Structure 1
Amino acid sequence: MTVSLDELMAALTRELKPEQFKDYCPNGLQVQGRAQVARLVSGVTACQALIDAAIEQNADAILVHHGYFWRGEDAVLTGLKRQRIKTLMQHDISLIAYHLPLDAHAELGNNVQLAKVLGFTPAAPLTRQNNHDMGLLAHLPESVAGEDLARLLARRLLREPLHIAGTEGPIRTVAWCTGAAQGYIEQAIAAGADAYISGEISEQTVHIAREYGIHYFAAGHHATERYGVQALGSLLAQRFGLHHQFIDIDNPV
C-alpha cells in the first residue's frame, strides 16, 4: 500500500504537534521526495550511512530524530551537508525529522519508550519544556545497587554506560531524560531521585553527581534515543500499510 506524502505529513503533524515546540531545528519535512510513500526507513540520525542503507532498501522516505538545519550551523550547502542532501534529491527520497516533539510524546516519545525497554513504570514528569513534560521519574519496586542498574542498562541497551557513583547508597527512585539532557541532573536531584540516566555527560556533571550524592549514568545519546523513532515508524506502518524498517547505524556516543 502507499500513502501520499501530503497525507503522511498531515498525520504526523496531528500526532506530534510540532507547532507547539520551540526547537533547535525545523520539525517535519526537511527534504521533499516523491509524492507517494510505500517504503519507510527510520533511524536515529540522517547520516550518509543511513541514507545509503535506505537507498538499498528502495525507501521512499526516511524518518529520523536528528535531521538537518540546526540552529547556529552554517546555512550553506557544502561538504557533508551538500553530499547528504544531493544523495536524497538524486534518489527522490524525503527526509522527515522530529526532535523535541518526539522526545516529549506521551506514548511514542523517547523517554516513554526508554522506560518500556528498561522496565520502569513512570510515576511523574521530571521537568517541563515548551509546556510539555520532558523526562520522567519512576519509583522502583525494590531498591537496587548502582552496579546492578549499570548492568541493566548495559544488557537492555547493548552498551556499557559510564557510571558516576556519587554515592554508595541504594537506588529507589530513578529519573531519566534521553540524549544530551545531562543538564537536567539538578532537576532530578530536586525531585528526590537517587539516580539520573541520560545519554551524554559533561565535565561538570561528574562534580555535580559527587557533591550532591547521586548516581549518574551516561548511557549513550544514540543508545537512549533508538526507540521513539521506531515506535513512530511502526505506528505509520500500521496505520497506512507501509513497509517500515528501522536501520541502526552504530554510534558509541
Structure 2
Amino acid sequence: MKREALTRYLDDQLDSTRFRDYCPNGLQVEGRAEVQHIVSGVTASLALVDAAIARGADTLLVHHGWFWRGEEGRVTGFRKARLQALLKHDINLIAYHLPLDGHVEFGNNAQLARRLGWSVEGRFGEQDIGWFGRLPQPTTLAELATSVAAGLGRAPQVIASGASPEQPMHRIAWCSGGAQSLFELAIAQGVEVYLSGEISEQNVHLARESGVPYIAAGHHATERFGVQALAAHLTERFGLTCEFVDIDNPV
C-alpha cells in the first residue's frame, strides 16, 4: 500500500483535523513509499524504534509520537538517536494522539469500555475527550479495582472517598492517559467513580471531599488498546502485516 494512501485513509478515519492537539497528527517522519509491515506501539521510544528495525518493519504506528508543543526543538542527544535510527532504516513514523483517544471505534476510551464491559452514555470536556457511562452491574469500589487490574494487567491506584467501600456503584466516567484535569467535569456528570491513567496531587483531596473515588490505572496501561485496534483494522481492511510491541512502562 502506498504511504500517501495509508495516511489519507487514517486521517479520514480518525478525523484528525477536528482536534486541537499538542503535536502533529499523521505522518511525522517520512520513510519508504510502500507500506507492507507495520509495528505498532504506545510511544515512539528508541526501544520501539529498535523493535521495528529488528522486525524489518517499514512503518511505525504509535499513539505518542514526536515534536510536542513547547519541547526542546534541537535534534540532539536522545532526539538525535531516535531520529537517526528511523531515518537510517527508512521507516515511516505515523502518530495519532487525541484523535486516537476519542475515536468511537478504535479510540483508547472506546477500547477501554469494550475491554472492561462498560456501556457508553455520552462524552464531556473540551473536544469531547472524556467519556461516561454505566458499569455492567452494580459494583463496589473493590470489585471495580479488581476488574480493572484483571483487564489491564496491573493493579491501579485507588483514591477512596468517605463513602462506604461496600456501596454499589452504577455510573463511571473515564479518560485514558493523563486526564487528571477532567476530574471535576467528570463529577458534574453525576458519576460515582472516575478512572484515568494518572492522578495529580490536588485530585486526591477532590476525591475525598466530593465522595467520588479516583482510579489511576496507568497512563501506558490505559492507552495500549487503541493502537492495537487500529492496526488490526488495517490488517483486515488492507492485508497489511501489523505487530504490536508492548514496551514495558510502569507509569
Q: TM-score range by the shorter chain?
A: over 0.9
Which residue is equivalent to 1:5? 3
Aligned partner of 1:129 among 126, 129, 148? 126
Aligned partner of 1:64 among 59, 62, 65? 62
Provide the alpha-carbon RMSD of the alignment: 1.0
Pairwise mapping of residues 216-231 of structure 1 onto structure 2 (< 5 A)?
A: 216-231=214-229
Which residue is equivalent to 1:214? 212
Q: Aligned partner of 2:194: which letter?
A: Y
What TM-score does the superposition give when structure 2 sets the normalisation length? Answer: 0.96
2:169 and 2:186 map into 1 onto residues whose CA distance is 13
Question: Taking structure 1 as reference, are residues 128 and 186 closer, same or farther at Cα in structure 2, changes over 3 Å only?
Answer: closer
8 Å CA contact retained: 2:117, 2:135: no
8 Å CA contact retained: 1:170, 1:194: no
Which residue is equivalent to 2:102? 104
Which residue is equivalent to 1:164? 159
Aligned partner of 1:192 among 187, 190, 199? 190
Which residue is equivalent to 1:250? 248
DSSP 3-state at the match of 2:6: helix
Which residue is equivalent to 1:19? 17
2:26 and 2:3 map into 1 onto residues whose CA distance is 11
8 Å CA contact retained: 2:194, 2:214: yes
Once the two structures are TM-superposed, the CA of residue 180 in structure 1 deviates from its matched residue by: 0.3
Which residue is equivalent to 2:85? 87
DSSP 3-state at the match of 1:54: helix
**Identity percentage of aligned residues:** 53
Q: Aligned partner of 1:147: which letter?
A: A
| CA displacement, residues 119-163 of structure 1 (integer Å, 9 cap, x when unaligned) | 1111221x1433xx3221122343211111111111110011000
1:246 and 1:67 map into 2 onto residues whose CA distance is 15
Once the two structures are TM-superposed, the CA of residue 187 in structure 1 deviates from its matched residue by: 1.2
Task: Count the aligned residue pairs.
Answer: 248
DSSP 3-state at the match of 2:129: strand
1:66 and 1:10 map into 2 onto residues whose CA distance is 19
Which residue is equivalent to 2:148? 153
| CA displacement, residues 80-105 of structure 1 (integer Å, 9 cap, x when unaligned) | 11100000000000000000011111
Q: Which moved more, 1:162-171 or 1:212-221?
A: 162-171
2:173 and 2:203 map into 1 onto residues whose CA distance is 15
For structure 2, the 5+ residue unaligned runs are none
Runs of 4+ in 1 over 3 A off after TM superposition: none
DSSP 3-state at the match of 1:36: coil
2:50 and 2:245 map into 1 onto residues whose CA distance is 11
Q: Aligned partner of 2:156: which letter?
A: P
Which residue is equivalent to 1:239? 237
2:135 aligned with 1:140: yes
What TM-score does the superposition give when structure 1 sets the normalisation length? Answer: 0.96
